[in-house]
């Protein structure tokens, strides 16, 4: 038999044994000449999303007497279960057959197989793990929780479990596997695990039931919460902490702090901001009994009303050094710039009632969108649109985490033009001016906080040097034979961890044996 350049099978009336032999031989040659493949798009993502699967390079299994190809009935399988087939088996498009179906749902990699006759090829799809965020992370019984899930199974029902036991279904995910909803739970005091589950995957997040009014999550620069009894709690970056009635929240010089209260009220504080939670009562069974009062002293915050501010006649108020603000179901940014006597308010949605401090009987009712400038004696306004609001928000809240000298001045002195904040001033009298204290990371208001060598102690033939510097800085110990000599490094770079004043030391081995006289200094590298 002479083989053509493109071998094919001609259907004849010969015996079936001869036909099968020719078919098997032709199939062998075509499989060897052209390989089959399967492409999957996308190749990873949430389970149950729609994916496009294409089988390429599949060859005809036979030809008609007229020379038309005959293709196998190609099927697509996930873990050996048939999920789709190509249509019109005699169509030449079967050489590149494409189908759309929903992705598998179990976490991890899955094989997707295309099979036609004895031709087979494999592709794969990977189901990514989901994530769940809960806010607030703390609250008493009856707290409204905001649940946000990403990368769960798409278009699937979501079930919620509490400490491993089924609680209730809360709706469905979208076609991207995401969902967002609010729920209210009454849980015993103590830590709990909230789990959201769809077909094939689940994710969990902690919630602590406690007698608090909300929580705050620190950014990279941390912050502090000062309690009514005078004690303070440093905030650990990335960790949520409960908020109690009467707490004052202070953000650091290079970061921001998000606050979530149990009625859904959201504050996002910018750097060097201070806010006190003076009064807070949330009664979900009787909204008329709910009320809130805050005191805003410095900095800036972004505010989104929760349920208290959205009641028909809300008792939701905020005071600043310039006057009072009644909150009426709103979204706004409030800022008191360093050294300023004006409270800037950018109201993008809702209504505010503003009363200057010097005119307690005069209240100005203003509806968004509008820019408001509140001083102790009057209220002025200007136009505001969404683009301007977004620009102001980006300017205030998209911090780099870097502490500038001006933000450091505001942190310690409240204002950049305060005489005590001048770069060459030494308000604590420790011999280090403000610029040097800023560079060294020490406190310019405490005389015992400055960059200095503490001790030099002989240990046999060695010398141990101890010194104090601000955390997060890098130092190197140096020595010279005389004060006018050439300084050389005794140590490598030594990075001090943490924040505030940090004490460290270094042992100069052989210092007593190898030198008749030696002078030491510690250099600030960065």
Give ∠ CA 472-474-480 in degrees, rounded to 5.
150
List, for residues 117-135, the tens digit of each pLDDT value.
788 899 999 999 999 999 8
User: What is the pLDDT averaged over residues 385-404?
Assistant: 78
Is it the case that residue 55 has pLDDT exceeding 80?
Answer: yes
Please give the structure tokens belonging to residue 442.
């020490």
pLDDT at 87: 63
Residue 427 near residue 444, CB atoms below 8 Å: yes
Buried b (16+ CB within 10 A) or exposed e, 62-94: bbeeeeebbbbebbbbbeeeebbebeeeeeeeb
In the 8-state DSSP scheme, what is residue 6?
A: S
Q: Is the pLDDT of residue 42 over 90?
A: yes
CA–CA separation, 62 and 71 (whole Å):
7
| Mean pLDDT along residues 317-335 | 93
**pLDDT confidence of residue 351:** 93
pLDDT at site 89? 52
How confident is the model at residue 95, as a pLDDT? 62
pLDDT of 201: 96
Q: What is the DSSP letter of 32?
A: H
Measured in residues, the chain has a length of 526
Highest averaged pLDDT of the listed ranges 27-41, 212-226, 456-470: 456-470
In whole angstroms, how far apart are CA 472 and each of 375, 440, 503?
39, 9, 12
* 3-state SS, residue 459: strand
Residues 107 and 129: beta-carbon distance below 8 Å? yes
CA distance 458 to 172: 71
Contact 507, 463 (CB under 8 A): yes
Looking from the CA of 318 toward its CB, the CA atoms found within 13 Å total: 26
Q: What confidence score (pLDDT) does residue 188 get?
A: 86
Instruction: Report the C-alpha gap between 421 and 437 in whole angstroms.
Output: 11
Task: Give dist(CA 407, CA 400) in Å, integer.
Answer: 12
Model confidence band, residue 402 (pLDDT cutoffs 50, 70, 90): low
Residue 423 has pLDDT above 70, yes or no: yes
- The answer to which of 168-182, 252-266, 467-481, 498-512 has the lowest mean pLDDT is 252-266
pLDDT interval class at 48 (50, 70, 90): very high
Torsion on CA atoms 393, 394, 399, 400, rounded to nearest 10: 180
Instruction: Record the pTM.
Output: 0.55
User: What tokens appear for 269 in the block?
Assistant: 């504080």
Confidence at residue 57, expressed as pLDDT on a 0 to 100 scale: 82
pLDDT reported for residue 30: 36
pLDDT grade for 472, boundaries at 50, 70 and 90: confident
Average pLDDT on 165-193 reads 92
Mean pLDDT of 428-434: 92
Between residues 417 and 270, the one the model is more confident about: 270
Give the 3-state DSSP-derived string for 155-200, with helices as H, strands as E and coil as C.
CCEEEEEECCEEEEEEEECCCCCCEEEEEEECCCCEEEEEEEEECC
Of the pLDDT bands very low, low, confident and very high (cuts 50, 70, 90), residue 112 is very high
> Residue 366: pLDDT above 50?
yes
What's 218-246 look like in SS3? EECCEEEEECCCCCEEECCECCEEEECCC
Q: Which residue has the tokens 């400490």?
A: 163
Report the alpha-carbon distance of residue 508 to residue 373 in Å, rounded: 61
Tell me the C-alpha distance between 242 and 212, whole Å: 6
pLDDT band at 20, cuts 50/70/90? Answer: very low
171: alpha, beta or left? (left if phi > 0; alpha if psi -120 to 50): left
Question: What is the pairing mode between strands 119-127 and 44-45?
Answer: parallel
| pLDDT at position 186 over 80 | yes
315 closest CA partner among 283, 345, 342, 346: 283
Q: What is the pLDDT of residue 254?
A: 67
Q: Is the pLDDT of residue 350 over 60?
A: yes
Mean pLDDT of 304-318: 89
What was the pLDDT predicted at 8?
37
């Amino acid at each position: 038999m002479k083989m053509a350049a493109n071998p094919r099978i001609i259907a004849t009336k010969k015996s079936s044994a001869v036909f099968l032999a020719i078919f098997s031989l032709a199939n062998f040659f075509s499989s060897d000449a052209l390989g089959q493949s399967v492409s999957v798009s996308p190749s990873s993502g949430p389970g149950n999303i729609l994916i496009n699967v294409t089988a390429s390079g599949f060859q005809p299994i036979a030809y008609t007497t007229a020379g038309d190809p005959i293709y196998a009935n190609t099927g697509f399988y996930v873990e050996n279960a048939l999920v789709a087939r190509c249509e019109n088996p005699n169509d030449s498009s079967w050489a590149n057959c494409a189908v759309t179906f929903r992705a598998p749902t179990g976490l991890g990699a899955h094989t997707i197989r295309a099979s036609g006759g004895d031709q087979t090829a494999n592709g794969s799809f990977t189901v990514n793990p989901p994530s769940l965020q809960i806010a607030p992370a703390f609250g008493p019984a009856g707290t409204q929780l905001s649940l946000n899930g990403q990368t769960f199974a798409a278009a699937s029902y979501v079930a919620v479990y509490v400490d491993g036991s089924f609680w209730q279904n809360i709706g469905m995910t979208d076609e991207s596997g995401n969902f967002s909803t609010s729920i209210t739970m009454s849980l015993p005091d103590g830590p709990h695990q909230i789990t959201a589950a769809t077909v094939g995957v689940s994710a969990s997040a902690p919630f602590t039931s406690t007698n608090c009014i909300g929580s705050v999550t620190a950014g990279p620069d941390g912050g502090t919460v000062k309690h009514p009894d005078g004690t303070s709690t440093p905030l650990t970056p990335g960790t949520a902490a409960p908020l109690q009635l009467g707490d004052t929240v202070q953000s650091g010089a290079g970061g921001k702090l998000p606050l979530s209260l149990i009625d859904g009220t959201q504050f996002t504080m910018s750097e060097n901001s201070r806010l006190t939670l003076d009064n807070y009562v949330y009664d979900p069974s009787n909204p008329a009994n709910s009320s809130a009062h805050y005191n805003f002293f410095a900095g800036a915050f972004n505010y989104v009303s929760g349920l208290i501010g959205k009641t028909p006649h809300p008792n939701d108020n905020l005071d600043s050094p310039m006057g009072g603000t009644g909150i009426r179901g709103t979204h706004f940014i409030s800022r008191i710039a360093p050294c300023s006597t004006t409270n800037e308010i950018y109201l993008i949605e809702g209504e505010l009632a503003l009363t200057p401090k010097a005119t307690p009987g005069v209240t100005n009712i203003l509806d968004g969108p509008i820019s408001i400038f509140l001083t102790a004696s009057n209220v002025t306004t200007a136009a505001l649109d969404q683009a301007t609001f977004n620009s102001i928000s980006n300017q205030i809240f998209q911090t780099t985490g870097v502490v500038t000298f001006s933000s450091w001045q505001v942190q310690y002195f409240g204002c950049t033009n305060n005489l005590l904040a001048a770069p060459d001033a030494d308000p604590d009298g420790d011999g280090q001016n403000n610029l040097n204290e800023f560079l060294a990371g020490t406190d310019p208001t405490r005389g015992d906080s400055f960059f200095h060598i503490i001790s030099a102690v002989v240990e046999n033939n060695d010398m141990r040097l101890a010194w104090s510097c601000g955390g997060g800085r890098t130092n190197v110990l140096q020595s010279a034979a005389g004060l006018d000599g050439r300084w050389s490094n005794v140590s490598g770079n030594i990075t001090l961890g943490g924040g505030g004043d940090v004490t460290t030391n270094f042992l100069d081995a052989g210092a007593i044996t190898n030198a008749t006289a030696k002078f030491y200094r510690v250099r600030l590298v960065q």
